[in-house]
Amino acid sequence: MTIGRLIAVVGPSGVGKDSVMAGIYDALPHMHVVRRVITRAPGLGGEDYEAVSVSKFEEMARAGAFALHWGAHGLFYGVPADVETHLSEGTDCLTNFSRSALAEAARIFPHFTVLNITAKPETLALRLASRARETEEEIAKRLTQVDKPLPAGLNVIHLSNDGLLADTIARATLLLQPASA
């Protein structure tokens, strides 16, 4: 049986990860989009996530509810353990990810792929300001992370999202097509 790929979508804040992921799923509906657990208030837009308190997150982590979890930007993120079932059934799984958790994920998941989405700093600044989720100080801090390197040795697909979203999604779906047997 073929094991599915865990495809970690990474990139700086404002690069359009959620929009690109939604477009990929529309084009490749056989993929499973992982719904992360996050210690963020509910209803803030962007990705579909399960909002929990820090204490609930810690309880879930102790109970083994996550295949992987990490902290970034003052929040905690968890990939639910049921992702392993989807992968073992041969389903490719797509999930928003943090660059800080990539090395650990590569150790855990046998067919781990990184979709690294990039955009110019001026594009990111405009997008962050328009989503109105962060203060100017928070935006400035996030923009300092734009050039943060990825760990060495990963299977990385690079994708620019400076142009039209439809064009980015079309390139992404071509790049993510499963290899032919």
Burial class (CB in 10 A: 0-12, 13-18, 19+), 169: buried
Task: Name the one residue in this structure whose structure tokens are 């992360």.
Answer: 36
Q: Which of 108, 72, 74 is nearest to 93 (CA)?
A: 108
What integer pLDDT is reported at residue 181 of this predicted model?
Answer: 40
pLDDT: which is higher, 123 or 165: 165
The answer to whether 83 and 91 are in contact (CB under 8 A) is no
Hey, which residues does 10 pair with through a beta bridge?
116
Radius of gyration of the chain (CA): 16
Beta strand 75-80 pairing with 66-72: antiparallel
**The one-letter amino acid at 76:** F
The pTM assigned to this predicted structure is: 0.87
Residue 34 CA to residue 86 CA, distance in Å, equals 10
Q: What is the pLDDT of residues 103-152, one digit of tens each?
A: 999 999 989 999 999 988 888 888 887 877 777 887 777 777 777 889 99
Beta strand 93-96 pairing with 6-10: parallel
Beta strand 75-80 pairing with 37-38: antiparallel
**The one-letter amino acid at 65:** A
| Residue 97, phi then psi, degrees to nearest 5 | -140, 165
Q: Which of 100, 61, 101, 45 is nearest to 53 (CA)?
A: 61
Q: What is the pLDDT of residues 5-44, one digit of tens each?
A: 999 999 987 888 989 999 999 999 999 999 999 999 887 7
The answer to whether 178 and 92 are in contact (CB under 8 A) is yes
Share of residues in the chain with pLDDT > 70 (%)? 96
* Size of the chain, expressed as the number of residues it contains: 181
Residue 136 CA to residue 139 CA, distance in Å, equals 5
